[in-house]
Structure 1
Amino acid sequence: MAAIPPSMAPSTANWHWKNKTVTPWARSWFERELATISVKGEGDEVVTVSQVVEFDGDVELGQRKSKLITIYDCKVVLNWAGTASDGTAVEGKLTVPEVSHEITLDGLSEYAYEWTLTTARSPAVDTLFALAKARLPTALETKFAEFPAAIVETHGKDLTVSADPSRQGSPAPAAASNSGAPKASAPKPAPKKPAAAVNTATVTVDATFMAAADDLFDLLTNEQRIPAWTRAPAKSAAKPDTEYSLFGGGVQGKYISLVPAKEVVQSWALQSPQWPSGHVATLTTTLEQGSDSTKVTWKLDGVPLGMEEETQRNIQGYYVHGLKSIGLGTEL
């Protein structure tokens, strides 16, 4: 990666493309994190991930236009184990052919799972095998959703040039006091220019979740529960005219109106160099309770022309897949 000239401003330095290969670190991350997974059945049955036995692929963190971008496509093979109700030790292998940015964040396709049972079959063994296939994928996808944030948190500082002055130098001497000198008036701030008019479009995404409307409403607005599916800090007080922040500040705005278990209307601004300065859209989220599921529709009015496809992918990946990653299940 080319060095940044010392005279280049941080805002300019962060505009250029840089990347860092972090595949060895990623392998260690998967080996450590997946081995913590354990799921339980209705009785005493427990299935755990015992070991990651194979990890193939490439993992990079890129930076362009002040935006950090995770780039990865990996194959993960793991051993799982458990004890059946009759005391039989059960073992098997699970292959996940693709763990990628496109699946985890963009939601362009579903995860695939290839299962192998290495223990001789019996009714009790088959019951445990069914438990593994039913519950391990949700636990794994929750971990997969944490991976991009872990890349950025661990390696992002290596790619971003800080605009803050160094704290390692000597402090500047205090200005000498001169009470007799006339005080200079503070310069007046330059008037803010009104935001330029932006041609916009409307983007709509909907999904059906196996959850009650009131629970989904709480997941979308409760500051304590939002990080469970965004995997990032959040700020939210679900009242009209209060500010909120999602995805660690990546999306910000104000709540306009809220109808519990029915609708959320909020201003919505993407904190990215690609979003026009000062431009704000309106996101209307509606929830339609069915007999055993809830349909959620995200309607974003005010998307700048040319960004419709990217915005739709992001809503699909961050909102829909985020909620799916905590075990709600979807029917698209």
Structure 2
Amino acid sequence: MARWGEGDPRWIVEERADATNVNNWHWTERDVSGWSSQRLRQLLQAVRVEGPQGCCQLTEVSKLDGEASINNRKGKLIFFYEWHLKAGWLGTSNGGVKFRGEVEVSNLSEENEEDELDISVSLSRDQPATPLLDLMRSSGVRVVRKALGQYVQQLKSEFSQGMILPSADGAKPPAESRENQSGTSGTRTQVNSAPTRSLPSPAPPAGGVRISTCSFQLTESFQTSAEELYRTFMEQEFVQAFTRSAALVDGRRGGRFQLLDGSISGEFTHLVANRSIHMRWRFRTWPSEHYATIRLELEERGDETELRLRCQGVPAGQEESTRGGWDRFYFQAIKQTFGY
């Protein structure tokens, strides 16, 4: 084995913590089956559709067989996933009559695009005919496809972080280009910024590498008081309700929190009751000990409260998924759960 500056660069032993796979030459593999199972359940159980016939909601996931992994060879990521799943659905007609059925997906894999997935919808054997079946076979199937597509997107973006290490010459691996998107929906506005150079995160790991980061802003209005919205973010029982999973929330300055089965964690750094929440926040697949800075500002305006989010320090390439996560799993989940 040659030392730094000697011999074939594929076999360089660099004197740094991540030198076990310098230049990304060796095959590395990360098993993400556990994360995938949890994420697929979360996404499917959030599926809900409404129409003239009534409304339908996916309930329990009764079957989830398969596996998923991410592999790195010569700096190239190879994704493998294959799942066969079944989920029950509960429909309620406009007259209040309830019906039950099942959704089955047999070919969720890297070989099939989102629109190629075989998704079948059926009624339980003891159920009479209902127009809700047509609702699930049309609108329901589209929403299920979108949820499974979101899983694949997150698998390839959020959970692939750290698989390709900086090369021996200090160059970073090429990142997939993303087009900035902006738009409005209802009262929500988004302000995007391109990745910018920044200082390392608040508590960088020993021997770690500097990373490029970016920032973004979101604004959302909630039909509730500032006091009630503040409690929704700070009290554990409220957080568990809108995330639909166990959570640990110590709602005080310096208090820690952990959400979505440990996918999200952080610490409250500054609090002003009913007005402001500042926190150090991270997704578990980010580089070790790297935190973004989140600032939530609440302003009551008549019968609604405007919430302004400022997020700084997101790893470059993670802006879109992080922004989308805040919108879907915080803002929209709070509105759907509490009617805000």
Structure-1-length-normalised TM-score: 0.51
Please tell me whether residue 264 in structure 1 is matched to residue 277 in structure 2.
yes
Q: Which moved more, 1:96-105 or 1:285-294?
A: 96-105
Separation in 1 of the partners of 2:70 and 2:326?
Answer: 25
Aligned to 1:317: 328
Aligned to 1:201: 214
Q: 5+ residue gaps in structure 2?
A: 1-26, 33-68, 72-78, 111-115, 125-129, 152-204
Alpha-carbon deviations, 1:255-311, whole Å to 9, x = none? 101122211100011101xx2222111111122212122222222111122221222
| Structure 1 residue 48: Cα displacement | 3.9
Alpha-carbon deviations, 1:169-191, whole Å to 9, x = none? xxxxxxxxxxxxxxxxxxxxxxx
Q: How many residues align?
A: 203
User: Counterparts in 2 of 1:81-120, with a 5 A limit?
Assistant: 93=132, 95-96=135-136, 97=139, 98-100=142-144, 102=146
Q: 5+ residue gaps in structure 1?
A: 1-7, 40-45, 63-70, 80-90, 107-147, 149-191
Letter of the 1:287 counterpart: L
Separation in 2 of the partners of 1:231 and 1:257?
Answer: 26
RMSD over aligned Cα atoms = 3.7
User: Counterparts in 2 of 1:284-299, with a 5 A limit?
Assistant: 284-299=295-310
Aligned to 1:243: 256
SS in 1 for 2:96: strand
Structure-2-length-normalised TM-score: 0.50
Separation in 2 of the partners of 1:246 and 1:100?
Answer: 24
The answer as to whether partners of 2:70 and 2:80 remain within 8 angstroms in 1 is: no
SS in 2 for 1:197: coil
Q: 1:49 aligns with which of 68, 92, 98?
A: 98
| Structure 1 residue 226: Cα displacement | 0.6
Q: Structure 2 vs 1, CA of residues 12 and 75 (structure 1 numbering), >3 Å: closer, same or farther?
A: closer
Q: Structure 2 vs 1, CA of residues 76 and 282 (structure 1 numbering), >3 Å: closer, same or farther?
A: farther
Bigger Rg, which one: 1
The answer as to whether partners of 1:258 and 1:264 remain within 8 angstroms in 2 is: yes
Q: Structure 2 vs 1, CA of residues 318 and 74 (structure 1 numbering), >3 Å: closer, same or farther?
A: farther
Q: Structure 2 vs 1, CA of residues 103 and 217 (structure 1 numbering), >3 Å: closer, same or farther?
A: farther
Q: Percent identity?
A: 20
User: Counterparts in 2 of 1:62-211, with a 5 A limit?
Assistant: 93=132, 95-96=135-136, 97=139, 98-100=142-144, 102=146, 193-211=206-224
The answer as to whether partners of 1:269 and 1:280 remain within 8 angstroms in 2 is: yes
Separation in 1 of the partners of 2:224 and 2:118?
Answer: 31
Separation in 2 of the partners of 1:12 and 1:57?
Answer: 22
